[in-house]
Structure 1
Amino acid sequence: MTEVWWMGRVATSLLAGATAAVSAAMAVDAARAADLPVKKAVPVEYVRVCSASGAGFFYIPGTDTCLRVSGRARFEAGYIPVQNRANSSGDLSQYRGLMRMNFDARTQTGYGTLRAFLRLEAASRTGVFMASGTQQRVGNAFPALGQDAFGRVQNFIVTEKAFVQFAGLTAGRASSFFDFYAHDYELISSTAGSDVPSTNLLAYTHKIGEGWSATLSMEDPNFRKNPFYAAAVGATGTLPGQSGLNTVLVTAPSPVILGTNASGTASSVVFVDTVQRSRMPDFVGALRHDAAWGSAQLSAAVKDVNLGGFIANSGLSALTPVPGSASGPVGAGTAAALLAARGLTSGSQTAYGWAVQGGLKLNLPWIAAGDGLYLQGAYGEGALIYTGFSYFTGTYASQLNPVQGAPFVHALADAVVNPLSGRIELSTSFTATASLLHYWTPEWRSAFFGSYGEIGFRRGTREAFSLVNGLVGAAAPPTGAAFAFSPILRDNYQIIAGTSLIWSPVKDLDIGIEGTYIGTGPLGGRVTDASRPVTVNGLPAYTEKRYDTTQIRMRVQRDF
């Protein structure tokens, strides 16, 4: 027992000593630590909701700027019946996959909200009417080059929006302030009417009283120029030094008659270049009213329509007769005198096109929540893209088929150079559009829409161009009895009508289908059926008074 007691006392002493040693060591470490610098923890800055700018906005960390990021994914497929399989026609199906990204940044200042908005769109598109010739002509899209892919496969990428807004100023790439309805309720966007969602502009908007605003906008003219009609020379070398005369990307020649032969056809001509230069901006004004019942807008625009000048070596400096004509040469001095007698000295000219548009939107909640009705009309001279007559057919071309494989072409020129007077003559156009949106239930809705439009040219212009047919060939109306059947420079019309059915089972998801009817024809008489080029005694065996077709397209779209 004495031994056990002694061993316990020893263990207790050792434990006490160890405890004291550890305590002393901890005291020394604490003293040393008190001599070292102490680093504070970096505060974590969490993303904060910016409710003042609206739903979905958050503060960019470290700034007082609110940002909203949103986007869209879309799939579309369509069908359009085309029986003609000649000349690369015959495509029936069409497809598109589209991506959109939006960035909306807003900062509150003493002058109001400072805003920057960016939108990028990119798409892979195949098939007729998905592979857009309109977008390709203005450089927003680029085509595949394979034998089976050219005109059918196309990629699209564009800075759809990139603008700054501050104290009433809008500067950058934005939708034209002329536009109103802009196909708000449609999937295919086929009705006639102005719709330029991407143009470069500088605008100022001033608020006037409750709900009223007035805007003056200076806009990029290149997105509103529909070309002159140009009867390009059909045969190389018709005139001395003109091997490149029919290269329309450089020069789009249009003839001015200086002399005729005994049969009344052109014998001596000069050519003017109808490629328009970017010389002044388009000026747009809009007066708008927004209220609980809807919106109303009156828009107006002024634009220049200009000619380059006489094409070098086309006859002014060393004019020779048209080969095979009965006339002799016309010297440069005589040519200049003949032109001066018509008031033409340099060949370059400028005329001014214009357009006006009125639009009304009515909210119809008494029918169903979300219902609305658009009514819109426009008239213009030398301003086809402002009236939007050819929105479905296409723009940036002076004549196009209404649809692929159609038997005749639309005449769509903003202007022509009369070959007798040498003066610019502006075309006239007008459109009228109506569109109704109705919600059958909160998840199901339909749109019903239609439009009518006409384009016309000054009387006698076609007859004047028929005098140069022997020189420029099929690009001008023929002489004789066949003149009545030529579609070139014919006044024409277009009717669009359609409806859709869209299902939205959850918020921001649309699954829908839309069908449209398209009817096109000359405003009088008949035209040659180009799909059946058979003649009897020099006259067409098959003619058309109107061309009718339909288009169906379905869409699956998710916005976020």
Structure 2
Amino acid sequence: MKVSSLLLGSVAGLISVSVARAAEEVTASDPTEYVKICDVYGSGYFHIPDTETCLRIGGYIRYDVGLGDVRSYDGARTTDVRTGEAQGTWRNNTRFTFKTWTRQETELGALKTYTENRVNFGNRNAYPGPDTPQNYGFNSGVKLTSAWIQLGGLRVGKGHSAFDTFTGYAGNVLNNALVPYGDFDTNVAQYYFDADNGFSALVSLEQGSGVVGTIDSHVPHVVFGVKQTQGWGAITSVIARDSNHDALAGKIRVDVNVTDDLSLFGMFGYGSIGVINDDPTNAIGAHGRGFYKTWSGNWAFWAGSTYTLDEKTSFNLQVSGGQFKNYGVAANVVYTLVAGFTATAEIDYGHYGNFGIGMVDPSNVNWTKADKKDCVGGILSFQRSF
């Protein structure tokens, strides 16, 4: 018994020594590093190892189905290649959007970056789709939506024009440009001032984009904006100078928080024609629209609301119109199936008072590509955000 006990004790001792040494070896050769959370900037941020920079990644996948006459994806209805007649079609698009945010505190203020890239696959109505009569499905390639650097109030890089971002977009509907309210893509050099009492202001030097909108000299487009925000809502105004066409455009917007569940907005835009119609016969001319005054005629309006029915369901509405009797109505219901996954059902109506006028009055040309004066359509959308 004594011999047996001695043998068992020796084996147990050897095992314990071996385990201890193995633990030491694992600890020394395979150190474990944990991701450090940056909750000071909000949820989702974490430290990039060995730096003071905090990173957040996100994005979404969205699948849209468009039906009816209204252009649901910034294009015309398709044309039957056999007859040349316009026809309705099943229009659908899948989009993947990838986003990144970085934040870091410096002696000159917060250093920030933001990037957003989009890839689409859909038929000819998918953005940005080719203007061809065939209804082919295609990949549209990578679209650089945003890529900017900001230090304190100074921001440089690619983004959307301050003419739209400072006032905010025209409601929470998918087809919110039945009456357009401004162009978007541009390189910017802008400065944002926040007084910490609800007042803010902005000045932005912009390049523009497209054949008509890109600056053609050393003089940039310029946008000025001021905003006052309080608990009841906000009032915002912007004015922009289109240096290509020596034209001015402005918008004023009022947001009202009626209750915790109901918010309203109204926005009015006015723009001068300037020299936009110098050459109305030019096929790529502006025809009464510049980079900022994208609506027909001198004035246009947009108004809408968002009502939260419950924690999973909201209702959104937008109405719009302009001087040349172009009108739009869009309404949708957004339902959250599970956290991060929503379904949106929307119906759209467009009335184009300038239908068929085009070359009689170039400032009233039909840029909507609608083939009817009154159009009805809809969109069903599924989006997974992360």
Q: 1:103 aligns with which of 100, 104, 119?
A: 100
Question: Displacement of 1:281 after TM fit?
Answer: 1.2
Aligned equivalent of 2:18: none
- Cα 1:377–1:413 change in 2 (3 A) is closer
- 1:376 & 1:211 partners in 2: Cα distance? 20
Pair 1:493–1:74, CA change in 2 (3 A): same
Q: Tell me which amino acid in the other structure corresponds to 2:174.
A: L
Cα 1:384–1:109 shift into 2, 3 Å? farther
Give the distance between the partners of 1:382 and 1:156, measured in 2 at CA: 35
**What does residue range 473-488 of structure 1 map to in structure 2 within 5 Å?**
none
Distance 2:251 2:120 in 1: 31
Q: Does 1:214 align with 2:201?
A: yes
Aligned to 1:303: 242
Residues 193 and 547 of structure 1: is their aligned pair in 2 closer, same or farther, counting only changes over 3 Å?
closer
- Does the CA contact (< 8 Å) of 1:75 and 1:555 recur in 2? yes
| In 1: Cα distance, 2:203 partner to 2:268 partner | 20
Q: Equivalents in 1 of 2:36, 2:357: separation in Å?
A: 66
In structure 2, relative to structure 1, the CA distance for the partners of 1:144 and 1:286 (3 Å cut) is closer
* Aligned match of 2:318: 449
SS of structure 2 residue aligned to 1:200: strand
Matched, 1:50 2:38: yes
Give the superposition deviation at 1:381: 1.7
The one-letter amino acid of 2:47's match is Y
Matched, 1:286 2:225: yes
> TM-score by structure 1 length?
0.54
Cα-to-partner distance string for 1:461-501 (whole Å, 9 max, x where unaligned): xxxxxxxxxxxxxxxxxxxxxxxxxxxxxxx3310012111
Q: 1:67 aligns with which of 55, 58, 65?
A: 55
- Confirm or deny: 8 A CA contact 1:169 1:204 kept in the other structure: yes
- Matched residue, 1:168: 153
Q: Do the aligned partners of residues 154 and 398 (structure 1) sit closer, same or farther apart at CA in structure 2, a change above 3 Å counting?
A: farther
- Residue 384 to residue 88, structure 1, CA distance change in 2 (3 Å): farther
State the aligned residue count.
341
Flag structure 1 segments of 5+ consecutive residues without an equivalent: 1-11, 17-21, 27-38, 137-142, 228-275, 306-350, 386-395, 400-410, 416-426, 455-491, 529-545
Higher relative contact order (CA 8 A, sep 6+): 2
For the pair 1:557 / 2:380, whether they are aligned, the reply is: no
How much has 1:144 moved relative to structure 2? Answer: 10
Amino acid aligned to 2:103: R
Are residues 1:158 and 2:97 paired? no
Which among 318, 321, 325 is matched to residue 493 of structure 1?
325
Structure 2 partner of 1:375: 266
State the match for 1:510 in structure 2. 342
Deviations 1:300-333 (A, max 9, x none): 111223xxxxxxxxxxxxxxxxxxxxxxxxxxxx
DSSP 3-state at the match of 1:52: helix
The equivalences for 1:79-158 within 5 A come to: 79-81=67-69, 85=80, 86-87=83-84, 89-127=86-124, 130-132=125-127, 135=128, 143=130, 148-149=134-135, 153=138, 155-158=140-143
**Pick from 253, 257, 265: which aligns with 1:359?**
253
Question: Please, which of 192, 206, 223 is the counterpart of residue 205 of structure 1?
Answer: 192
Question: 1:104: how far off?
Answer: 0.4
1:504 shift after superposition: 1.1
C-alpha RMSD of matched pairs (Å): 3.9
TM-score under structure 2 normalisation? 0.76
Q: Closer, same or farther in 2 for the Cα pair 1:494/1:431, shift >3 Å?
A: same
1:92 to partner: Cα distance: 2.1
Q: Aligned partner of 1:284: which letter? A: V
Q: Deviations over 1:132-186 (max 9, x none)?
A: 4xx45xxxxxx498x8446x64524211110011111011111211112313411
Secondary structure of the 2:50 match is: coil
Once the two structures are TM-superposed, the CA of residue 291 in structure 1 deviates from its matched residue by 2.8
Deviation at 1:84, TM superposition (A): 7.7
1:306-345 to structure 2, matched below 5 A, reads none
- Give the SS at the match of 2:189: strand
Secondary structure of residue in 1 paired with 2:121: strand
Distance in 2 between the 1:412 and 1:304 partners?
Answer: 15
Q: Deviations over 1:175-206 (max 9, x none)?
A: 21111231341112234243544321000112
- Aligned match for 1:192, one of 165, 172, 179: 179
> Which protein is bigger by CA-based radius of gyration?
1
Counterpart of 1:76 (choices 61, 64, 73) is: 64
